[in-house]
Amino acid sequence: MSAPPISDALYDELVGILGAENVLVDKPARYNRTRVPAPFPVHRWDDHVPDVVVLPTTTDEVVEVVKLANRNRTPIVPRAAGTGLADGAVPLRHGILLDVKRMNRIRDIDMTDRTVTVQPGVNMLKLNEVLQPYGVFYPDNPASYPCSMVGGRIGTSGWSLIGARYGHTKDLVISLEVVLPTGKVIRVGGGAGGKVRKSSTALTLKELFFGHQGTLGIATEAVLELVPRPEAEFAAFFSYSDYDTAYRSCGALSKSGLATLAGVVLFDEWKLDYLRRDDEAYIEQPSDVRCVNAVALYGTDAEVVPAARRVMEIGHDTGGRYLGDEVSQGDWAARHDRYAIPLHGRLRSSGQVVPMSWHCEDAALNYSVLPQVREEWHAIADRYIEGYGIFDDWGMFAYTNGSHAPWGDYLVEIDIGIWEQKLDDENWAAWTRCKTEIAAVALKHGGSITACHGATRAGEVDLVPSELGGAFDVMKDIKRLLDPNNVMNPGKYLFDQAYE
C-alpha cells in the first residue's frame, strides 16, 4: 500500500481514537467517498478526494475526531449515504471524511410517547422494517427511501413524497444531538431537546441544523416521530391531453382540503416524452396522454374510502382521465425505484444513447408561477442542449411541497441528463452557468433555489446571497461563531466569506 496522504502523527491519533479498522486510507475507500450521484466534474476527481476516511460508532469518538481536526486545522466532512444531490458530502478541501454508516443503532422505541431514538447512520427502510411489528412507522419517505440515512436527511432538510400528510424531515425529527465544529455537544429541539414536540422556552435552535449540509456540526443522535401505520393507501393517476388542463386539475386536487392527502405530483409533457422514449418500466399509454397527475391518500379506512371518492370526482371534473388501477397502484408502489437515477440519455443530433448522469433542479415555487417557470426552464435546457451536445432534457415534475398545506407551493424539478465523460473545464463552466440561469428564474418568480436538496452546488450557490439578502450576513456570523477555525465542511455555502 502506498503511504497514506496524511501525516503519520494524524493517522496515529485517529487510530488511537477509533482503532485501525475504522481509519481508512486506501484509494478505493477514499475515491468512492468523493462524489455523490449528482453530476460531478469527473475530469477533476482528484481535487475532491478525502485524505482519510473515519468510521466512528459513538458520539464520544465523533467528539474526539472533531477536536483533533480543530487542533490540526484539518477539514472534516460528514457523510451519511452519499445520495445527496447538492454535493454537500463532496469534500472540497480534502481532509477527514467522517462516514456515519456504522452509527446505525436504534437506541429506544418508545410506544408510550411515540418516539424512536436513532443514530444518524440508520436508513428509513430498515428502520420501518424494525418498527413494523409495533404498528407504527417513521414517515420520512423520499424517493431515496431505501438508501438515504437519517443524518443526511437532517443535513439536507429532506422532503418526503408523503409530506403533505405527515410532514417532511424537519417536522419529523423531534430533537437531535449535535457535535458542534469545536467538539462541544448540544441537544436541540423543544426545551431540553428530548421528546417534547412544542415548547416556547427561549430560542428554538433546531431548524438551524436542518439544511446546513454538514457545515455547522454533526448530528449524532435523533429522536424521531412515530405515527400509526396507515390502514389504507390509495393512489390515482389521471392523464390529460394538455398541460394547462393538467395544471388546473393539479391545483384543484391539492386544494381539496382532504386531510389524508399525502401528495399530488404533476408530470409535464417533456417528462411523458422522456418516459415513453427511455423508461423500461413505462406502461404504454395512448399518444394523447401528454401530462399526468398522481395523487396519494393515506389514513384509516374510514377516512380514505370517502376521500378516494372525492379525489376521483375532482380528477374527473377537472378534465382528468383515470389511468386505471395497474398504473396507479403499481407506479405509486414503485415510487422509490421509478424515480431513481436514470443512467442514460440521448443526443439530440443523432438520437444516440449515451451514459448520462442525472441533475435534478428542485426549486420551491408558488402554484401561480409554475407554467411560466416551466417554459423558461425548458428554454434554458434547450439552449444548452443545442450549444454543447452533452445534455438531455428529461422533463419536469411538480410535487406538493408544504407540510399539511399542499396548496400553495411546489417542489418543482427539472431533470437534465449530462454526459459526464465529456466534461472538461469549458463544459463544466457551461454547466454551472446553466444551473445559475435555472436558479435565477426561480428567484425572479419569487421562489427559492431549492426545496430539499440544498443550494451548495457550484452554479446555484452563487445566488444564495441574492435569495437571502441580509439574512446571509447573519448566516455567516453564525458559521464563524460555531466554527471559529472553519474546519467543518469548508468551502460550502460561500462560508469562506465569513472568515475574510
Ligand X SMILES: Cc1cc2nc3c(=O)[nH]c(=O)nc-3n(C[C@H](O)[C@H](O)[C@H](O)COP(=O)(O)OP(=O)(O)OC[C@H]3O[C@@H](n4cnc5c(N)ncnc54)[C@H](O)[C@@H]3O)c2cc1C
Residues at the contact surface with ligand X, assessed by CB under 6 A: 36-37, 77-85, 88-89, 100, 120, 142-144, 148-149, 151-156, 158-159, 161, 213-214, 218-219, 339-341, 452-453, 489
Q: How far is the CB of 3 from ligand X (least distance, A)?
A: 27
Residue with Cβ nearer ligand X (129 or 424): 129
Nearest-approach distance from CB 476 to ligand X, in angstroms: 18
Closest residue to ligand X: CB criterion: 152
Q: How far is the CB of 134 from ligand X (least distance, A)?
A: 24
Residue 114 Cβ vs ligand X, minimum distance, rounded to whole Å: 23
Judged by beta carbon, residue 151 or residue 251, the one nearer ligand X is 151
* Burial class, 346, CB count within 10 angstroms (exposed 0-12 / middle 13-18 / buried 19+): middle
Contacts of 487 (CB under 8 A, 6+ apart): 66, 69, 70, 73, 74, 75, 76, 95, 181
Q: What is the CA 451 to chain-centroid distance, rounded?
A: 8
Nearer to ligand X among residue 171 and residue 303 (C-beta)? 171
Question: 3-state DSSP call for residue 398?
Answer: strand
SS (H, E, C) the chain: CCCCCCCHHHHHHHHHHHCHHHEECCHHHHHCCCCCCCCCCHHHHHHHCCCEEECCCCHHHHHHHHHHHHHHCCCEEEECCCCCCCCCCCCCCCCEEEECCCCCCEEEEECCCCEEEECCCCEHHHHHHHHHHHCEECCCCCCCCCCCEHHHHHHHCCCCCCHHHHCCHHHHEEEEEEECCCCCEEEEECCCCCCCCCCCCCCCCHHHHCCCCCCCCEEEEEEEECEECCCEEEEEEEEECCHHHHHHHHHHHHCCCCCCEEEEEEECHHHHHHHHHHCCCCCCCCCCCCEEEEEEEEECHHHHHHHHHHHHHHHHHCCCEECCHHHHHHHHHCHHHHCCCCCEEECCCCCCEEECEEEEEEEEEEHHHHHHHHHHHHHHHHHHHHHHCCEEEEEEEEEECCCCCCCCEEEEEEEEEECHHHCCHHHHHHHHHHHHHHHHHHHHCCCECCCCCCCCCCCHHHHHHHHHCCHHHHHHHHHHHHCCCCCECCCHHHHHHHHC
The answer to whether residues 116 and 106 touch, using CB atoms and an 8 Å cutoff, is yes
| 212 versus 374: smaller Cβ distance to ligand X | 212
Residue 252 or 475 having the CB closest to ligand X: 475
**Closest separation between CB of residue 252 and ligand X, Å?**
24
Residue 382 CB, nearest approach to ligand X (Å): 25
Q: Give the nearer residue to ligand X in terms of CB position, either 37 or 319.
A: 37
| Nearer CB in complex with ligand X: 36/272 | 36
Query: Whose Cβ is closer to ligand X: residue 85's or residue 292's?
Result: 85
> What is the DSSP pairing of strand 96-99 with strand 52-54?
parallel
Smallest gap, in angstroms, from Cβ of residue 315 to ligand X? 23
Q: For the CB of residue 148, give the shortest distance to ligand X in the complex, in Å.
A: 3
- Smallest distance, ligand X to C-beta of residue 337, A: 9
Q: Chain-centre distance of CA 267, in angstroms?
A: 19
Grid cell listed for 288 = 394523447
Cβ proximity to ligand X, 219 vs 385, nearer residue? 219
* Residue with Cβ nearer ligand X (141 or 436): 141
Q: Which is nearer to ligand X, 15 or 92 (CB)?
A: 92
CB of 318 to ligand X, least distance (A): 26
CB of 129 to ligand X, least distance (A): 17
User: With respect to ligand X, which residue has the nearer C-beta, 215 or 285?
Assistant: 215
Q: Is 360:415 a contact under the CB 8 Å cutoff?
A: yes
Query: Rounded to the nearest whole angstrom, what is the least distance from the CB of residue 159 to ligand X in the complex?
Result: 4
Provide the residue type at 306 as one letter: P
